[in-house]
Amino acid sequence: MRRRRTIGLAALGLSGALALAACTTSGTTNGGGGTPTSSPGAGASGFNAAVSSVVNPSTTKTSGTINFGNTSAPDSTDPANTYYAYMWNFVRLYTMPLMTYKSCPGPCGLQVVPSLATAPGQISDNGLTWTYHIQPNVKFEDGSTVTSKDVKYAVERTFDRGLFPLGPNYFSFLLGGNAAKYPGPYKDKSSADKMGLTAVDTPNDTTIVFHLAKPFADFDYVAAIPQTSPVPPAKDTGANYQLHPISVGPYMFSSYQLNKQLTLVPNPAWQASTDPNAKQLVSKITMTMNMNAADIDSRLLAGDLQVDSAGTGVQAAARARILASSSLKASSDDPVSGFTWYTTINTTLAPLNNVHCRIAIQYAASKTDYQDAYGGQFGGQIASTVSPPNVVGHKTFDLYGATTDPGGNTAKAKQELQACGQPNGFATGIAYRSDRPKEVAVAQALQASLGQVGIKLSLHGFPTATYSGNFAGVPKYVAQHDIGLSTYGWAPDWPDGYGFFYYIADGSAISPAGNTNQAQLNDPVINDMLAKMATTNDPATRNSLTGQIDMQIMKDAAILPGVWAKSLLYRSPSLTNVYVQTYYGMYNYAVLGVKS
C-alpha cells in the first residue's frame, strides 16, 4: 500500500499554497517521547485490546526472533526513497529522523515528538526559519557520532529524483535558497565552498537550520519523515545504499537479498536513552518477501509468522475464520486505519451545481450497502464526516443521517430534488476503479439506491493506473462525459486537518490532470480556513479549524463519505509490547518483543 500521500506538490509553485500533509495533536506539537510499559488496560487481552492499550507489556530482552511476512517487497529500505505506509513504520527499527511519532496507543500516538532532535523546531524570522538541535551522543552502528552535517546530507540526497524517485519531495518545494534547482550531492558541480543546499545551515555539529521559501506551520511533521534520518557521506553508496543503510536505531542490517529476505540484528552502538520511542528486545528480525497473502494469513494463525508487514489486515478467508473463533478473535484488532473511502459529487456540472441536488444524493445513498462493499463492519465504519476519527481536531457530527438512517432516506432525498428543480430526478455518470472490486460494488450499490429517487447513474469503470491521470482526475474529461460522481479515498502523510483537506477540498488544488479535488470544490470559506491553517503556528488554533472545514464540506454536500477504513489485524500471542500506533493504523513495529 502506498503511503497516504499528498501527490501533486507542483501545485505549490502555481497556487502559492503550501500544499502538504501534516499532523499535530491536541493543542501541542511538544511532548516527551517514551514507549509505555503500561497504560489503561495494559496487559489486557481480547478483541480490540491493542487499539487502546499495550498487550503483553515487557521490557525483557529475549533471544527470540520476530518474523515478518510480506506479499511484495519494500519500495526501498533507503529512508530517502520509501513511501509505503508500512515502511515508514518499519524503518524506525534502524533510523532516527529529527522528529517522530510518540510510541503509545490511542490518540497519544498522533503526537509528533523529538527523535534525533532534542526538541521541536524553534521558529523565527516570521516563520521562515526552523532550527533544530540534535542529541550530541547518538552513534551510527560503527560507533561514529552523528552530526548535523549527516542530517543535512540526508536531506540533500532526496533532491536526486533520478536515484530516489519513490520518496516524497517536500524539501524542494518548502526550502528557499537554491532548493528549486539543486540537483542533489552526486550531481552538484558547484565549487567546494558553494556546494550543497544553501537553505540548510549547520553552524555546529549539533545544530541544523532550515530556511523556508514561505512560512509553513507544520514543518515539524516534515522533519518526522524518514528522510531526515542521518546518512554518513563516507558510507553512502547511492542507489545501493538500500542494501545496507547505516543504522542509528535499535537494529542494523545483517543481510538483505533483494525481493527475498531482510535480516536485522541488534545494533551494538544503539543507546536506549537516546531513542525512547523504540526498543531492542529480540535477537533477530526477518522480513520474508513476495509471499502469497493467504499463506501469510495461515502462517500467522499457525504461529510461524508474527507480523504481516503491510498492516492492512487479513484476507477474507482468514477474516471469516478469526471471527468464527472466540480465541482467534480475542487475539485480533480492528482499528480505523486513517483512510476515508468516499464518493465525490462534482460541484460544477449541472444540475449538481445546485447544492440541493447534491444533498439529495447524501440522503438517497445507502450507507449500509457502502459498508457492505468494503467487507461489512470489520472492513469499515460508516462515515458521517469526511475526516476519520484519527485526524487531529476531528469532530463527529451527522448532517444527513448516515448513522441514524444508514439505508437512506428517500423522503428527504425527494424533498431536496424538488428544491433543486429536478422533482423526477436526473441522469449523471459515476466513475470508479474497475480493477478494485470494492469500488465496483460501491458504484453498483449507489446506482441502485439513488435510482429509487430517480437519479440514474451510468457506470464508467477505469483502470487504477490511469484513473486520476486520464479520467476521473481530468476535469475536462469529466465534463465532456457528464461524470458527476467518482469513487475515491484519502489519507494524508500526516493527519491534521490541513494535511487531510487541502488536496481534496481547496480550490487552488484543482488541477487539469491528476486532480485530487475531484468535486472541484472552490468554496472561499474553506479556502480561507486552509490558508489560515498553513501559516498559523498556534496548534490549538489550527486544530480548531479541522471540524469547521469538515462541516463546511458537508454543508456543501461535495463529498459523500462512505466508510472510515478498518483492517482486521491478527495479533500473534507470542508478541510483547503490542499495540496499534494510531498514526500508522497498524501495530507499532519499533517496540515489539517476543516471549521467551
Q: Which residues 6+ apart lie within 8 Å of 138 measured at CB?
A: 96, 116, 145, 146, 230, 248, 271, 274, 275
Q: Are strands 284-288 and 65-69 parallel, antiparallel or unpaired?
A: parallel
Supply the pLDDT for residue 280: 98
**Residue 203: its H or E element:** strand 200-204
For the record, the C-alpha cell of 561 comes out as: 463519505
pLDDT tens digits, one per residue of 426-455? 999 999 999 999 999 999 999 999 999 999
- pTM of this prediction? 0.86
Is the pLDDT reported for residue 25 higher than 50? no
Is the pLDDT reported for residue 27 higher than 50? no
Q: Which residues 6+ apart lie within 8 Å of 123 measured at CB?
A: 129, 130, 537
Three-state SS at 344:
strand
Is the pLDDT reported for residue 7 higher than 50? no
Distance CA 553, CA 386 (A): 8
| Range list for CATH 3.40.190.10 in the chain | 31-288+569-594
Residue 5 pLDDT grade (very low, low, confident, very high; cuts 50, 70, 90): very low
Beta bridge partners of 433: 462
Distance CA 527, CA 503 (A): 11
Segments in 62-139 forming alpha helices (H):
85-90
The topology under which CATH files domain 31-288+569-594 is D-Maltodextrin-Binding Protein; domain 2 (3.40.190)
Is the pLDDT reported for residue 6 higher than 70? no
Nearest-5° angle of CA 558, CA 562, CA 568? Answer: 150
| Residues 484 and 450 sit within 8 Å (Cβ to Cβ) | no
Phi, psi dihedrals of residue 57, rounded to the nearest 5°: -60, 140
Domain 336-566 top-level CATH class: alpha beta
Q: What is the mean pLDDT of residues 167-172?
A: 91
DSSP 481-540: TTEEEEEEEE--SSBBHHHHHHHHH-GGG--SSS-S-TT----HHHHHHHHHHHH---HH
| Range list for CATH 3.10.105.10 in the chain | 336-566
Q: What is the mean pLDDT of residues 7-27?
A: 33
Is the pLDDT reported for residue 132 higher than 50? yes
**Residue 101: its H or E element:** strand 99-101
Distance CA 199, CA 179 (A): 7
- Residue 577, CB half-sphere, CA atoms under 13 Å: how many? 25
pLDDT tens digits, one per residue of 241-294? 999 999 999 999 999 999 999 999 999 999 999 999 999 999 999 999 999 999
Distance CA 76, CA 168 (A): 13
